[in-house]
């Protein structure tokens, strides 16, 4: 999780549905200063980026969509970001 998957907002995402508290502890530890919060389980699909800005984009889809994969996701200043960041900061 050492790079953001967002354009204008820091976003951390990991393939698989992980325990949200464990995921957040690792995400904040790996990405200090991103003020991450709002962890969620999502279903994603990787699609080509037609703009040419990126090689591909991640699109949230319904479970069962062909090509969908499970992800655990959080974003900058998401819900409870203060709690998650305070827990791991000295």
Q: What is the pLDDT of residue 54?
A: 83
Q: Give 12-47 pLDDT, tens digit per residue.
A: 999 999 999 999 999 999 998 899 999 999 999 999
In the numeric block, the tokens 């530890």 are attached to 29
- For the chain, the domains span 11-88
pTM here is: 0.81
Sign, CA dihedral 81-35-24-4, equals positive
Of 33, 21, 37, 32, residue with least CA distance to 74: 37
Q: What is the pLDDT of residue 3?
A: 52
Angle between helices 81-88 and 20-30 (to 10 degrees): 70
Q: Are strands 69-76 and 56-60 parallel, antiparallel or unpaired?
A: unpaired
pLDDT greater than 80 at residue 60: yes
């Amino acid at each position: 999780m050492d790079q953001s998957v967002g354009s204008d907002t820091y976003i951390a995402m990991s393939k698989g549905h992980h325990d949200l508290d464990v995921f957040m502890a690792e995400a904040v530890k790996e990405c200090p200063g991103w003020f991450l919060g709002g962890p969620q389980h999502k279903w994603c699909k990787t699609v080509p980026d037609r703009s040419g800005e990126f090689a591909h984009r991640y699109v949230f889809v319904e479970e069962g969509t062909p090509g969908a994969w499970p992800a655990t996701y959080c974003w900058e200043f998401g819900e409870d970001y203060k709690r998650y960041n305070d827990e791991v900061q000295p």
